Chain A
Amino acid sequence: MALKFQMRIRKNILTLRLDGDLDQSCIGKLKEKVANVMEKYQIRYLILNFDKLSFMDSTGIGFIIGRYAEVKKKNGMVFICSMNRMVERIFNLSGLSKICFVAKTENDALGYLEVA
């Protein structure tokens, strides 16, 4: 299954919804589009919504680390929400839980940022 993605921008918050399989075959296009938007809108907070993400391998971990490095320069944060069990296992294995915030839903992450 190919990867579909959708981006929503609100002030300096980018919400990225992924749908399908995240692997090396689709990462180039995704990275380019997301990096452009992050640069153009001076994104500081990135919310990754994995609700419809059916598969992810270490390519996805590399992608998250790369985006984390970008928002960190602006003292920003990365939120990951709605992970399925399998994606969560890879996520935990990678140690990313130490640098990213896990939220149950996209709204939880947005809510946190509104208050913060």
Chain B
Amino acid sequence: MDSLIKNNEVRLEILSKIENVVFARAVSVSFLVNINPTVSFINEFKTVISEAVTNAIVHGYENRTNKYVYITISYDDDFVYLEVEDKGIGIENIEEAREPLFTTKLAEERAGLGFTIMEVFTDSMEIASKVGVGTKLSFKKRYQSGESND
């Protein structure tokens, strides 16, 4: 990602503890106050970051709590960009993982909807993953600033 073309950017490294999902959501909301987003934009973005970071911890790191999740949020005049990366187990079959209701963790009551929700709530989603190396999700979401809230 070429940071020169961005208006602003924040990078976070968080320990793979599930309570840090709450922190990641809160940081995203605080950071994006700068672009004066609509309420529905913020709600959707919060959901995307929540799904992505939860996936990194629960799937990428299989709930190990001593690893790091790397998050980058940035924006230009039209889009907000989000990257969530883990150095975990990776995804064997990306197409399968993207399928609605596909889950490897049915017993833990995972709905298998994470990717579907992330895809619906963004304008583009890219998944780069290598087994044993990690997974990186990259999102673009268009925003319009200064709109009346909701």
Contacts and interface: CB of A to CB of B under 8 A. Distances in A.
Taking residues whose C-beta sits less than 8 angstroms from the other chain, chain A's interface range is 20 to 34
Interface string B84-117: 0000000000000000000000001111111011
A33 interface: no
The majority secondary structure among interface residues of chain A is helix
B72 interface: no
Contacts of A94: 111, 113
Interface residues of B, number: 25
Interface stretch (B18-26, B75-83, B125-133): B18-26
A86 interface: yes
A62 B109 contact: yes
A24 B18 contact: yes
Contacts of A65: 109, 111
Contacts of B111: 58-59, 61-62, 65, 94
Interface of B: 18-19, 21-22, 25, 40, 43-44, 46-47, 50-51, 54, 57-58, 108-114, 116-117, 120
